[in-house]
Amino acid sequence: MENTPHHMLQMVSILVLILCISSSVSTASLKVGFYSSTCPSAEAIVRSTVKKAISDNPGIAAGLIRMHFHDCFVRGCDGSVLLASTSGNPVAERDNSINNPSLRGFEVIEDVKTQIEAACPQTVSCADILAFAARDSALKVGGINYDVPSGRRDGLVSIGDEVPQNLPRPTLSGDELVTNFARKGLSVDEMVTLSGAHSIGVSHCSSFSKRLYSFSDTSTQDSSMDPSYAATLKTKCPAPPTTTDPTVALEPSTSIRLDNKYYEGLINHRGLLTSDQTLFSSQSTKEMVQSNAYNGASWAEKFAHAMVRMGSIEVLTGSDGEIRKHCSFVN
């Protein structure tokens, strides 16, 4: 009997943790086909515009998927990453150094919004447009298709300082990544699965050059990186101090194809960022990396599911927020 209060406290603590996590990710308030009667052409407009944009510039696919991720991890999936800085708010999320100049695809979202506003004024949120665009990017460059629950509303606030407080840094360890994603209600396997988005896109040298030139007090180069890969990277990324910050492909073998080659790269010690390679070197995630490397179809299915889960983080619905007329500014 003496232990009963302690056990009850444990149960309450666990219940509170579950409630906190489930409140971060909630698809219950979103609905597939949300605009089927109010703006039936919405998703088709997004798909055709995104498809053309990626045909013109394949790098846009990685940009739109990354933008959706950066939106959802800061204030939830509310389109806050799309808001421009103003005189009253000089540094919005998109102008924080983590996002500017590396985030790409704003003009695609604005193009879509202009077309949708002409068809269905003040009906479709910018947050939903971005979620649709990320899905259509995955379809175009990876053949990965999935239904996107919609009904998100647009947020009214965008604060640049909140970006580094919420987004995972490229130098994080495996345990730190697990904690970062858990705060958003995402599991370890979902974190590893979503990291596969790094099979496309590029990174600035400054995000990983320490692994090449000044890794530790005892070693200039990160020993977990394949030496021949490191040598190749050094030809593209000058040693600091440098006045330039070039970009290199996150996964060079299929840099414009969203696939599971990223995980093969990790097994071969060719992960570009610390936060990439740590997924293979950490015991808690190593087997997940191996599983994704050996079964591309299973990874693609999990990626679709994880994107839906990520797209449901802390969403605004109902009468919260607004439907912006322009994605860069509040009404």
Whether 305 is a known active-site residue: answer no
Please, what is the average pLDDT of the chain?
93
Choosing from 7, 68, 70, 204, which is the catalytic residue? 70
The half-sphere exposure of 40 on its side-chain side, counting CA atoms within 13 A, is 2
User: How large is the average pLDDT for residues 66-89?
Assistant: 97
Taking only the tens place, the pLDDT of each residue in 173-231 is 999 999 999 999 999 999 999 999 999 999 999 999 999 999 999 999 999 999 999 99
Asked whether the predicted pLDDT for residue 27 surpasses 90, the reply is: no
Cis? peptide before 101, omega within 30° of 0: yes
Q: Which tens digit of pLDDT belongs to each residue from 152-167?
A: 999 999 999 999 999 9
* Two tokens, residue 155: 């947020």
pLDDT exceeds cutoff 90 at 138: yes
pTM, two decimal places: 0.92
DSSP letter for each residue of 248-259: EESSGGGTTS-S
Could you give the CA distance from residue 39 to residue 115 in angstroms, rounded to a whole number?
Answer: 12
- CA torsion 232-303-179-176 (nearest 10°) is -10
Give the Cα separation of 275 and 273 in Å (integer): 5
Alpha helices per DSSP H over the chain:
4-24, 42-56, 59-73, 106-119, 126-142, 162-166, 174-183, 188-195, 210-213, 227-236, 261-267, 274-281, 283-294, 296-310
